[in-house]
Structure 1
Amino acid sequence: MKKRFAARAIALAVTAGLGLALTACGSSGSGGGDVSSANYTGPKVTISFWNGWTGGAAPVLVPKLIDKFNAEHKNIVVKDVPMEWADVARKMPLAVKAGKGPDVAVGHGDDIATYAAQGLVLDAGSIVKALGYKAGDFPEGLLDAGKYNGKQYAVPWSITPLGLYVNKSVLQSAGVDPNSIPTDKTSYLAALDKLKAAGVQGEWVDGYVFTGTFEFESLLWQYGGDLFNKDVSKATFNSDAGVKALTWMTDLIKKGYSPANVAQDGNINALISGKNAFNWNGVWQTTNEPLQKVDWQATAVPQIGDQKAVWSSSTHWMFMNNKGQDKNKTSAAATFVKWMNDNSADWPQTGELPAKNSVRNDPKLVQTYPHLKPFLDELPYAHYEPIAPGITTVEATITVAVNEAITGKKDAKQALDDAAAKADTLLKQNKAKYSG
């Protein structure tokens, strides 16, 4: 998961260096996107699938899914092309323009608009229709996350919400009932007070994307705020709601509930080693092997603000607009995507939730992966990535603000105001860069 977020910063820096030719003039293609049905019946083709699953997800992706798909489809061979996420994003623009990119790839929710504005992905409206997908087949708003300028460019694949990880042994040793995990501000503070009295700093807050930024964004939405305005032309994360959210986090340090200067991953490592009790972290931690040696439980993040809300990332299938793209390969890729979504029940082994409702809501999923239930329960109020070309560079300003406030370099309001000003500048630059 971390590699994906790191990849975005690297890739955007690289694509910026390629010049505006790839960003300001690209119109997304439509000629290669026609698919008549969910079952490809054309001549035998080999399709290329680019992805960044080189680690623990690889054994699930290839032997359990791609190999099985290939065995069941005599006229389609899927060639898995794994590479680091940074390499996927860096290589994609030039490869597609040269007709050497993948036929299908996976991108994050906040990558799709950038690819679409660059002309790298096909208009997938006809594909979605042919596959029979509707908005109600996925969590609310997730199919629309694949839209840009009114056109559909992607199909949902996975979701990764934040949750609260709890070391039950630490709670019990501090006199907190491990079977009554806090769900709101009052009970959460009460637990933190008991932990503090027992000499335990209950939640370690960090100033990094993992997971300080995700916690801040969850709290921002809980207090009724949002990251940007409706058309993503202005930053709004420095609203009163944003200040409340970040102040909550800095107060945890000031009041002694958290140590200062927590290192990257210091909070989850402290949970595993029994030094803290709570960690706001993503569903991907359910597969953390050292964690399995601990008496732990995952629950929904507590409602600190006025409403329930939680951050979530998402990944989506994209059909690439290669120069001279073969329509048969696009049609075969659509069959592959449909099959993968239908057969994604074991994808949680990788620490991600299947996006397709019928798969995710099957009772067998929770029976097989019981730790997933709280994350599934959060989805009705999950918030996903903002949709705008180049938005990942803008999102980085939020992490800067969180880090500056958490490390005491600036107070919450000043950090957010400064970041919002930088974000607004970047949004204006992106509008000019991608509007050609």
Structure 2
Amino acid sequence: MKKRSARRILAAAVAVGVGLALSACGSSGGAGGEVAGGDYSGPKVTINFWNGWTGGAAPVLVPRLVDKFNTEHKNIVVKDVPMEWADLAKKMPLAVKAGKGPDVAVAHGDDVATYAAQGLLLKSESIVKSLGYSADDFPEGLMKAGSYQDAQYGIPWSVTPLGLYVNKDVLKAASLDPETVPTDKASYMDALAKLKAAGVQGEWVDGYVFTGTFEFESLLWQFGGDLFDKNVSKATFNSDAGVQALTHMVDLVKQGYSPANVAQDGNINALIAGKTAFNWNGVWQTTNTAFDKLQWTATAVPQIGTEKAVWSSSTHWMFMNNKGQDKNKTAAAATFVKWMNDNSADWPQTGELPASNSVRDDPALVQKYPNLKPFLDELPYAHYETSAPGITNATATVTVAVNEALTGKKSPKEALDDAVAKANTLLKQNADTYGE
């Protein structure tokens, strides 16, 4: 997935007691006991930081953050090791078990539990406590996304909610008020009908993760459904809520509000080209330079269902359980994580929102990045990735269902039922693999 994240100035000297308790499943022999810290005052160490920011985020991550941290901390050198997210996931297990993995890394919310179940992570409750963090320091539910079997393994770093992007010139050309953006089903469908009458297909829906799956999941939650049951042992996205959500998307095609068979990224490209008015897309598009030539705005996704809800991804810091892990490096990594979270006010330049409430709630953030306001306003009702070992293989079936329904291969109900059956098989396999 496309990524972004970072923070602001609040350097606090906090005692860092780092508990190096080993993760539950198949420890690779990391060090045990407590690590005393403070603003790390031990011997000089070099810590390896693995992350997936290889593109536009890199110039923000390294010179503005990592290099600044290194300048301010004479006894810590952070070595930035960027790679593709998929490569990071492939390399991590063998590297950690061989004692050659990173000291600290960032992962998406739906990967943390998998790493924890593989024994690759150190439990971070004592780190969280010593840094002064609690669940209330981040958006509701986000801290839990970094947990596994009632233990904490991750500290939130960034969030990336979906929003509604609007080409104001297209609305004007169709004689719609560009300053009045639809907020609910009635106003949204009315706008689509008026756009259609003017010869414009107002929202292009696609059957890909970007962004069809994210739109479907937002609608699923809006209609009161969920992807899985509470224990993540059974897929539930073929509920009545799921059928309503996917039917809404399919009907956009059937009623001519969207073309059929939209290519991946075809919808955002159509918005930029002035061929459509609305696009459900992530906060990362606020950094899209192609928007510079447009009259555009972004707002919260409209409430199509019975309640407000929106999809959001997240990223989390993790402390790695390398074979023979140096406790000083882990303590230094904790200092780095706290500093990065405190200094993340300019991370929105990468298209991600800081997870830290204190940074995000500073009025200066919106003053500097006014396009972020609707995304910030959505966070109280955002839903984050499901946290469970191996979950990404099960959630991939959602995209298959969305694609099959939008391309007319199956009805919404049939597509969702078939996907749920496959997801349940995968969930059972995951339980067998990870001992759930």
TM-score, normalised to structure 1's length? 0.94
d(CA) in 2 for partners of 1:318 and 1:61? 17
User: Partner of 1:376 in structure 2?
Assistant: 376
User: Partner of 1:54 in structure 2?
Assistant: 54
Q: Secondary structure at the match of 1:166?
A: strand
User: Partner of 2:349 in structure 1?
Assistant: 349
1:315 aligns with 2:308: no
1:199 aligns with 2:199: yes
Q: Secondary structure at the match of 1:316?
A: strand
Q: Secondary structure at the match of 2:325?
A: coil
Q: Verify the 8 A CA contact 2:162 2:280 in the aligned structure 1.
A: yes
1:151-206 Cα offsets, whole Å, 9 max, x none, are: 00010000000000000010011011111100000000010010000000000000
State the one-letter code of the partner of 1:87: D
d(CA) in 2 for partners of 1:33 and 1:298? 49
d(CA) in 2 for partners of 1:195 and 1:155? 44
d(CA) in 2 for partners of 1:228 and 1:331? 36
Q: Secondary structure at the match of 1:26?
A: coil
1:187-234 Cα offsets, whole Å, 9 max, x none, are: 000100100000000000000000000000000000000000000000
State the one-letter code of the partner of 1:72: E
Shift of the 149–409 alpha-carbon distance from structure 1 to 2, 3 Å rule, reads: same
Shift of the 38–56 alpha-carbon distance from structure 1 to 2, 3 Å rule, reads: farther
State the one-letter code of the partner of 1:386: T
d(CA) in 1 for partners of 2:339 and 2:24? 35
1:391 aligns with 2:388: no
d(CA) in 2 for partners of 1:58 and 1:347? 11
Q: Verify the 8 A CA contact 2:47 2:329 in the aligned structure 1.
A: yes
Q: Verify the 8 A CA contact 1:33 1:127 in the aligned structure 2.
A: no
Q: Verify the 8 A CA contact 1:138 1:355 in the aligned structure 2.
A: yes
1:88-120 Cα offsets, whole Å, 9 max, x none, are: 111000000000000000001000000000000
Shift of the 208–310 alpha-carbon distance from structure 1 to 2, 3 Å rule, reads: same
d(CA) in 1 for partners of 2:24 and 2:327? 26
d(CA) in 2 for partners of 1:25 and 1:156? 22
d(CA) in 2 for partners of 1:409 and 1:375? 34
d(CA) in 2 for partners of 1:35 and 1:214? 41
User: Partner of 1:19 in structure 2?
Assistant: none
Q: Secondary structure at the match of 2:231?
A: coil
State the one-letter code of the partner of 1:229: D
Matches within 5 A, 1:81-160: 81-160=81-160
User: Partner of 2:435 in structure 1?
Assistant: 435
Shift of the 431–99 alpha-carbon distance from structure 1 to 2, 3 Å rule, reads: same
1:220-255 Cα offsets, whole Å, 9 max, x none, are: 000000000000000000000000000000000000
Matches within 5 A, 1:224-243: 224-243=224-243
d(CA) in 2 for partners of 1:135 and 1:407? 41
User: Partner of 1:336 in structure 2?
Assistant: 336
1:2 positional shift: 3.5
Q: Secondary structure at the match of 1:67?
A: helix
Q: Verify the 8 A CA contact 1:228 1:234 in the aligned structure 2.
A: yes
Q: Secondary structure at the match of 2:280?
A: strand
Root-mean-square deviation (CA, aligned residues, Å) is: 1.5
1:34 positional shift: 3.5
d(CA) in 1 for partners of 2:216 and 2:33? 39
Q: Secondary structure at the match of 1:212?
A: helix
Higher helix share: 1
Q: Verify the 8 A CA contact 1:43 1:75 in the aligned structure 2.
A: yes
d(CA) in 1 for partners of 2:199 and 2:423? 40
User: Partner of 2:256 in structure 1?
Assistant: 256
State the one-letter code of the partner of 2:307: Q
d(CA) in 2 for partners of 1:198 and 1:51? 46
Runs of at least 5 residues in structure 1 that lack an aligned partner in the other structure: 5-22
d(CA) in 2 for partners of 1:299 and 1:387? 28
1:132-151 Cα offsets, whole Å, 9 max, x none, are: 10111000111111110010
Q: Verify the 8 A CA contact 1:120 1:320 in the aligned structure 2.
A: yes
Among the aligned pairs, what percent are the same residue? 79
Runs of at least 5 residues in structure 2 that lack an aligned partner in the other structure: 5-22
User: Partner of 2:217 in structure 1?
Assistant: 217
Q: Verify the 8 A CA contact 2:229 2:236 in the aligned structure 1.
A: yes
d(CA) in 2 for partners of 1:215 and 1:292? 25
User: Partner of 1:298 in structure 2?
Assistant: 298
Shift of the 33–256 alpha-carbon distance from structure 1 to 2, 3 Å rule, reads: farther
User: Partner of 2:166 in structure 1?
Assistant: 166
User: Partner of 2:7 in structure 1?
Assistant: none
1:292 positional shift: 1.8
Shift of the 193–28 alpha-carbon distance from structure 1 to 2, 3 Å rule, reads: farther
1:315-336 Cα offsets, whole Å, 9 max, x none, are: 0000000000000000000000
